[in-house]
A and B are shown apart, each in its own frame.
Chain A
Amino acid sequence: MLKNIRLGITFGIIAGFLAFIFGGWSVAVLGVLCGVGLGMAFSSGLKRQAPLDLVRQALPTAATASFILLILSLVQNFIIAPAIGQPPASTDIVVQSNLAGVLGGLLFTLIPVYLHGLSERQERIGRLVLLAVIIVAFPFVDNFTGLYWVAQVIFALIFVILGMGLNIVVGYAGLLDLGYAAFFAIGAYTTGILDSSLHHIFLNFWLVIWIAAAMAACFGILLGAPTLRLRGDYLAIVTLGFGEIIPVVFRNLIKVTIEEPLTCWIIPGLQKLFGSASTVSCIVITKDLNLTAGEQGINPIGRPYLPGIGLFTNAHPIPWYFLVIAIILLSIFVINRLRESRLGRAWMAIREDELAASQMGIDPVRTKLLAFAMGATFSGFAGAFYGAYISGIFPDVFDFSASILILCTVILGGIGNIYGVIVGGLVLINADRLFLPALKDFLSGLLHSTILPALSNYPTAQAAVAENANPILYRYLLFGLTLVIMMAVRPEGLIPNAQRRMELHGDEGTPAEPPSVEQKPSPKAKTAGKVKK
């Protein structure tokens, strides 16, 4: 009982704190999200009982969370907002948003709890329907309430795709890839080159996105082939090296000149050396070709077109949102199928013990290469979508920090667990793109009304405080610390994968559980292994 109340308090405080920072209508959206999370967390530890019994048990917890959310939101609305100089909201909006937050919080806590009382199948369907309703309703609610979060949430969803791709490489196959953003860059630049006025090529977006994915996969194989024999930490460094080379290449390919060396200087040079006149003419393949537009970036890039919706534009993010959701659903489907397939099981076998796996007839290099290629494919999709969505690509986006950001989402969510990665990506990127700017406004409002005037006699200190009280400066710092803290405290991530957790904790405890059922060796696998050898 006490534990449940504590759960409610935790969720209430998190949601309330966010509502406290964001203000306005956010309390309604946060109430619903907090409710769903709380409901699922609450029911995860419980036995199946009669639905209404469960609901009765959950009621105090749900009420606690909603109450805390309401209190914090009201404090924000009536005390903080006027104090830091935000425009006062009308009474109607205050009443409506808080009411929606409290009721949404209660209702959406109780729905998953109620579903937990039904049969397993019904519960799963119910949860899917619930999630689907939230996903579909979110952009419209967002638009209606004037929060305008969708444009940033789309970024988070792009990183979710990237995270899912990296998860194949890091989570399933156990290869630490520190240059994953390179494939993202290749996908984006493929889109940029094939669908922009830079080279006057305008292919259809729906075609380009596949070419981009294929291109990224090819590069995955190309870069992977020579390096995958290396052991873990060396592989990480080599991928990092590649990851650094690729943006340098894209940044510098602005005057590409390729001249066939034999005819252009080797033979003429020799002839000159022996004193005869030059007789061959130089074969020039390209001369001063501006392939990638360098620092200026490729801008604009073509957008997708769908009959019925028309051309996608920046003014209307909702079509983009559903497009990226569709890509994610497709990816989840494909990745789940892959994971259960022979190849997926081979990845995990390689991750657990490469030597043993190769003795069982798995070709380690081929398996790893496929992991690299599959991971890169998703990155190519994300890159193509990103290029079209931003409608411009610049080499700086794809440097080391992007790779680390993607790695961070995977580690935070839970290595090897696709749903964990989705949660990690959403939490981390939304924290970066929505929460930190809001926190910045909040802090600067607070400082301007309290501390800064008090320091007016000390201009140096005033300037120093004003300059450093900008949370956006600390964003990458926070990502770095996330990695360190997660590795120290919870290396398996927020939503762990059972097998991976055992591995990461090494020999320091957690008694070994029996291996999962899915790794049953089939007679087919044995013969296939023999044939290959």
Chain B
Amino acid sequence: MSEKTKTILRQILIAIVALYIIFLVGPIAGFDVPSIAKQIQAGPNQVIQFLIVGVANGAILAIIALGYTMVYGIIELINFAHGDVYMFGVFSSLTILSLTGTLTTKDPAHLIWGILLALVGAIVFCAAVNFTIERLAYRRLRNASRLAPLISAIGMSFTLENLGLIWAQQSWLVPSFGTTGGASQKDYPDLLSRLFQGLGYNVNLLASTGWGLRFTIKDLLVIVIAGALMIGLRLFIQRTSLGKAMRATAQNRDAAKMMGIDIDRVISATFMIGGGLAGAAGLMDGLYNGTAWWFMGFRVGLFAFTAAVLGGIGNITGAMTGGFIIGILASFSDGFLDSKWTEAWIFAVLVLILTLRPTGLFGEQVGEKA
């Protein structure tokens, strides 16, 4: 037996043992193969249904993951606060919708203008927040040891999270927050369905097919907008001079500086673009999933970070792909396993990728600097 077959046999053995352990212990965390098989047998089109939900959520995750990956690509910092910037996107858009009276109206024109205003407002607000974070917390630590900016980022994330908690109890600002305090989940009205019902469309695009599936206008819009944002970002990075400067800075900061690129400006621009994307994702997530919660930034932020790592951090295509994969995994886990274990499964994926293949599926584009 050659050395090669031996290694292959050993790997197969390890795989069998690992599978056995997963089958043995997995049911505790919802991974119960017989009951999953039964569930799929009972309704095979559930798979497609969860796939649709997963792709839509994955699109939102992908947009958030872009913010992580762009910042990492340029200054090799895990901008921990990015998830909370997205949470700010949810809350700022909800506040704008409330202030413009869009939350309660049924008038389609009012709805369209309100939502567009909220989109622009959330993008601008989150871009400004991310810009401020960089100026206050990261810029002066750029030459410090590697852990210092990470600790600062965690502190910033914690700060934003709790600002969100305080924001969520300002019922004088947004009456629909109610008097239950900042810690409870707030309702984010489903304005898109209301808008299209008001216009006389059937919300479910697949209603007439009789397949028993729901593919709503919401799903379509989220996927289309997310796709447009991703294509736009790609074009921006590849075609514009600022995009070129960003790529150059990501490759080699010192060399870029020598070529006359204003590094500070490029980094600020990166943070603002990332923040703006997070703001857009915030509005989309609010409209799609219907909740606003101060802690959502942490959870979704970690999911998005997992997506960025899965695709290879620093790699923009990777982040998008990773976002869709994580979205689909989370949706399947919610549907077939048990939603209370989803978090643990996704974090397990994160831990597994980081330990087994830290460069992700598509590889890290930045040079390895241990």
Instruction: Give the residues in chain B near A56, CB-CB below 8 Å.
Output: none
Q: Could you tell me the distance between the alpha carbons of A463 and B178 in the complex, rounded to whole angstroms?
A: 12
- A265 contacts across to B, CB distance below 8 A: 33-34
**A491 with B148: in contact, given A233-B78, A241-B350, A252-B341 (CB under 8 Å)?**
yes
Residue of B nearest to A484 (CB): B155
Interface size counted on chain A using CB atoms at 8 A: 68
Q: Which of A176, A226, A259, A480 contacts B155, CB < 8 Å?
A: A480
Of the candidate stretches B91-99, B135-143, B266-274, the one touching chain A is B135-143
C-alpha spacing A258/B23, complex, angstroms: 9
Inter-chain CA distance A484–B344, complex, in Å, is: 28
Chain A residues positioned under 8 Å from B148 (CB to CB): 487, 491, 504, 506
Q: Which segment, of B6-14, B159-167, B224-232, faces chain A?
A: B159-167
Bound together, the chains give a CA A506 to CA B141 distance in angstroms of 9
A476, A477, A503: the one contacting B145 at CB < 8 Å is A503
* Interchain pairs with CB closer than 8 A, number: 174
Contact: B155 with A487, CB < 8 Å? yes
- Say whether chain A's binding surface is mostly helix, strand, loop, or mixed: helix
B159 surroundings in chain A (CB, below 8 A): 477, 480-481, 484
Q: Is the CB of B145 within 8 A of A473?
A: no
Decide if B169 is an interface residue (CB 8 Å cutoff).
Answer: yes
> CB distance A483 to B158 under 8 Å?
yes
The answer to whether the Cβ of A34 comes within 8 Å of any Cβ in the partner chain is no
Closest residue on chain B to residue A294 by CB atoms = B340
In the complex, which residues of chain B have a beta carbon less than 8 angstroms from the beta carbon of A487? 137, 141, 144, 148-149, 151-152, 155
Are A237's CB and B147's CB within 8 A? no
Q: Are A480 and B351 in contact (CB under 8 A)?
A: no
The answer for the CA separation of A278 and B34 in the assembled complex, in Å, is 15
- Chain A residues near B163 (CB-CB < 8 A): 477
B154: CB under 8 A from chain A?
A: yes
Contacts of B188 in A (CB 8 A): none
Check if A474 is an interface residue, CB within 8 A of chain B: yes
Nearest CB on A from B159, distance (A): 3
Q: B248 interface residue, CB < 8 Å from A? A: no
Q: Which residues of B contact A527 (CB under 8 A)?
A: none
> For residue A504, which residues in chain B have a CB less than 8 angstroms away from its CB?
144-145, 148
Whether the pair A232, B354 counts as a contact (CB closer than 8 A) is no
The answer to whether A482 touches B358 (Cβ under 8 A) is no
Closest chain A CB from B202 CB (angstroms): 39
Q: Does B354 contact A230, Cβ atoms closer than 8 Å?
A: yes
Given contacts A232-B147, A508-B144, contact A479 B158 (CB under 8 A): yes
Contacts beyond the supplied A233-B146, A480-B162: 17 A-B pairs with Cβ under 8 Å: A229-B355, A233-B150, A241-B351, A248-B340, A259-B27, A261-B23, A460-B172, A464-B170, A468-B170, A473-B182, A480-B159, A480-B160, A481-B159, A484-B136, A487-B144, A503-B145, A508-B143
Pull 15 A–B residue pairs with CB atoms less than 8 Å apart, ordered by A: A227-B354, A230-B358, A240-B302, A242-B351, A245-B344, A261-B33, A354-B370, A468-B166, A473-B182, A474-B162, A476-B158, A484-B155, A487-B151, A504-B145, A506-B145
